[in-house]
C-alpha cells in the first residue's frame, strides 16, 4: 500500500498539480525543491516541504528514511529547450547526475516505486505519431539528458527490484480549476507566453518558425492539460505498485494542433485584435510530434477530462487573469 510519497521538484507547475490530486486521494506528501524555478506559494499546505537540492544525496537520504518514503515522483529538472542548448553542463548536472544521486538514495532506503517525468523530446524528429517503441534520437540537449536519465532509472530499478513508471510528457498546458495553482514561470512555454500577451491591449503572439513542412507552416504539438497529467501520475503509481510492474508510457491526447491554431484559439477567446510575429526557428525544436497513447489508455483505463483546445486555452487565460489582477492589487 502506498502511504508516503516524495515529490522532487514539487514546488513547480506540474508538481503542485500532482500534489493536489494525491492529497485529494488521502496520500501523505513530502516535497523536495531547491526553489530555483519553484515557488513556495504553489506548495500545498498539507504537504511537508524541504528546501533541498536533488544533488544533496545525504539530505535526500535522510528525508526518505525519516519519513518512511515508499514512493518517489521525480520531477526535479531543468527543462527549457533553448536554455539547454547554451548550458549543456548545467542540464547534465541537474537532469542526469541529479537522477543518479536520487537513485543512489533510493537504493539505500526502502523505496518501492518510482515515477519519472520524461519527455517526448527523446524521440527522433520528424516521426510525427510516435509510440513508446519509436526511434529515440533526441534533437535537443534537454532531450538527450532526459533519455540518459531514463536509462539510469531502468538499469537501476531492474538491478534493485523497484517498480518504475517513465512518463513521456508531450506539451503540458492549462491550470487547476481550483484557481490556486498554475504556471508562473515564463521560459519557452507557448501557452504561458500567449496568455501573458493576451492580458495586453494589443497582444502580439510570437511564432518561432512558420516555414516548416506542416499544413500551415508552424510546428505541430500534442497539448495535454496539466490536470490530466496529474491524474496520470496518481493512477500509474497506484497501478505499478498494485501489479508490481514497470512501464514506459506516452502522455498525450494523440491529437496535434499547430502553433498557428493555438494563436487563433487565443484570439477567439480574448475577442480583441491581435498580431502574429513570425520569427526564425529555434534550435532544438521538433517539427511535429503527436503521441500514440494506446498503452496509457489500456494500462490505467484512462479517460481524459480536459482534452479540447478551447478548454486548455480558457484554463490558461483564467489563471493568467487571476495572477495579473493579484499583482495589480499588491
Residues involved in catalysis: 142
Do residues 172 and 306 make contact, with C-beta atoms less than 8 angstroms apart? no
Residues 138 and 136: their CA atoms lie apart, in Å, by: 6
Q: Please give the radius of gyration of the chain, using alpha carbons only, rounded to the nearest integer.
A: 19
Determine how β-strand 223-225 pairs with β-strand 171-173: parallel
Q: For residue 224, what are the contacts with CB-CB under 8 A and spacing of at least 6?
A: 169, 170, 171, 172, 173, 251, 252, 253, 304, 307
- In this structure, the number of other CB atoms found within 10 A of the CB of residue 292 comes to 16
C-alpha cell at 168: 513521456
Q: What is the DSSP string of 265-303?
A: HHHHHHTS--EEEEEPPPTT--SBEEE--HHHHHHHT--
Amino acid at each position: 500500500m502506498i502511504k508516503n510519497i516524495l515529490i522532487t521538484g514539487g514546488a513547480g507547475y506540474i508538481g503542485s498539480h500532482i500534489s493536489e490530486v494525491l492529497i485529494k486521494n488521502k496520500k501523505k506528501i513530502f516535497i523536495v525543491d531547491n526553489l530555483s524555478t519553484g515557488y513556495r506559494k504553489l506548495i500545498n499546505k498539507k504537504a511537508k516541504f524541504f528546501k533541498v537540492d536533488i544533488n544533496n544525496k545525504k539530505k535526500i537520504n535522510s528525508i526518505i528514511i525519516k519519513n518512511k518514503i515508499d514512493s518517489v515522483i521525480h520531477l526535479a529538472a531543468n527543462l527549457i529547450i533553448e536554455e539547454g542548448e547554451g548550458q549543456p553542463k548545467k542540464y547534465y548536472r541537474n537532469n542526469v547526475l541529479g537522477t543518479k544521486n536520487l537513485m543512489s538514495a533510493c537504493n539505500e532506503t526502502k523505496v518501492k516505486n518510482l515515477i519519472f517525468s520524461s519527455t517526448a523530446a527523446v524521440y527522433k524528429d520528424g516521426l510525427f505519431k510516435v509510440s513508446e517503441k519509436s526511434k529515440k534520437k533526441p534533437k535537443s540537449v534537454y532531450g538527450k539528458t532526459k533519455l540518459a536519465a531514463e536509462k539510469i532509472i531502468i538499469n537501476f530499478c531492474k538491478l534493485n527490484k523497484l517498480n518504475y513508471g517513465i512518463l513521456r510528457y508531450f506539451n503540458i498546458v492549462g491550470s487547476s480549476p481550483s484557481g490556486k495553482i498554475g504556471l508562473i514561470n515564463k521560459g519557452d512555454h507557448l501557452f504561458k507566453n500567449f496568455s501573458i500577451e493576451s492580458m495586453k491591449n494589443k497582444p502580439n503572439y510570437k511564432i518561432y518558425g512558420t516555414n516548416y513542412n506542416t499544413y500551415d507552416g508552424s510546428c505541430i504539438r500534442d497539448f495535454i492539460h496539466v490536470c490530466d497529467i496529474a491524474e496520470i501520475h496518481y493512477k500509474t503509481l497506484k497501478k505499478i505498485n498494485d501489479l508490481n510492474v514497470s512501464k514506459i508510457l506516452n502522455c498525450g491526447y494523440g491529437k496535434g494542433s499547430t502553433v498557428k491554431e493555438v494563436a487563433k484559439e487565443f484570439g477567439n477567446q480574448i475577442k480583441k485584435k491581435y498580431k502574429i510575429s513570425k520569427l526564425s526557428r529555434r534550435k532544438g525544436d521538433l517539427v511535429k510530434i503527436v503521441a500514440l497513447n494506446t498503452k496509457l489508455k489500456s494500462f490505467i483505463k484512462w479517460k481524459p477530462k480536459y482534452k479540447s483546445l478551447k478548454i486548455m486555452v480558457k484554463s490558461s487565460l483564467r489563471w493568467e487573469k487571476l495572477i495579473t489582477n493579484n499583482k495589480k492589487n499588491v
